[in-house]
């Protein structure tokens, strides 16, 4: 058996409708497009979202909200998670690479450390941003904070 001997399952394929091949085919003349109007012409194309003159959905639905194009999205990690990592892997420094290997962030994420939880380990933490509470918690445990 090889790829050249493969065929579709019986009954799974259909013959293509051959239109515009003369009156004897039953699909000649107007070629199933009907008489006159834009849809019968060659090159006919509607705009995306056009609903035949009815008010389109994107105009009927009320609009609200605001999308700030300058928003900076951080991946948040709490100091309690840093404590767990430090205990589990006996770490003294935590940076993005450590968190990527642990599966907590992806390589393109911006990292922000938040202050929820208790930190006992003395750690050097490198991240893109820190909350005030997180900075205080890390420095109170004898560690240091490095903003990337």
Residue whose C-alpha is closest to residue 89's, from 135, 123, 140 = 123
User: So what's the pLDDT on residue 13?
Assistant: 94
- Residue 3: pLDDT over 90: yes
Residue whose C-alpha is closest to residue 81's, from 94, 69, 62 = 94
CA distance 5 to 107: 46
User: So what's the pLDDT on residue 89?
Assistant: 86
**Distance between alpha carbon 102 and the CA centroid of its chain, in Å?**
22
Q: What is the pLDDT of residues 6-65, one digit of tens each?
A: 999 999 999 888 998 999 988 989 999 999 999 999 999 999 999 989 999 999 999 999
């Amino acid at each position: 058996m090889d790829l050249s001997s493969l065929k579709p399952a019986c009954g799974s394929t259909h013959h293509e409708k051959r239109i515009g091949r003369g009156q004897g085919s039953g699909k000649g003349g107007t070629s199933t497009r009907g008489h006159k109007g834009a849809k019968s012409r060659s090159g006919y194309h509607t705009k995306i979202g056009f609903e035949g003159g009815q008010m389109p959905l994107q105009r009927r639905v009320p609009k609200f909200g605001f999308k700030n194009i300058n928003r900076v999205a951080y991946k948040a990690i709490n100091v309690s998670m840093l404590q767990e990592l430090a205990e589990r892997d006996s770490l003294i420094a935590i940076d993005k690479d450590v968190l990527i290997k642990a599966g907590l962030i992806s390589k393109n994420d911006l990292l922000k450390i938040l202050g929820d939880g208790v930190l006992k380990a003395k750690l050097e933490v490198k991240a893109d941003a820190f909350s005030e509470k997180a900075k205080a918690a890390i420095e109170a445990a004898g560690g240091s904070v490095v903003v990337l």
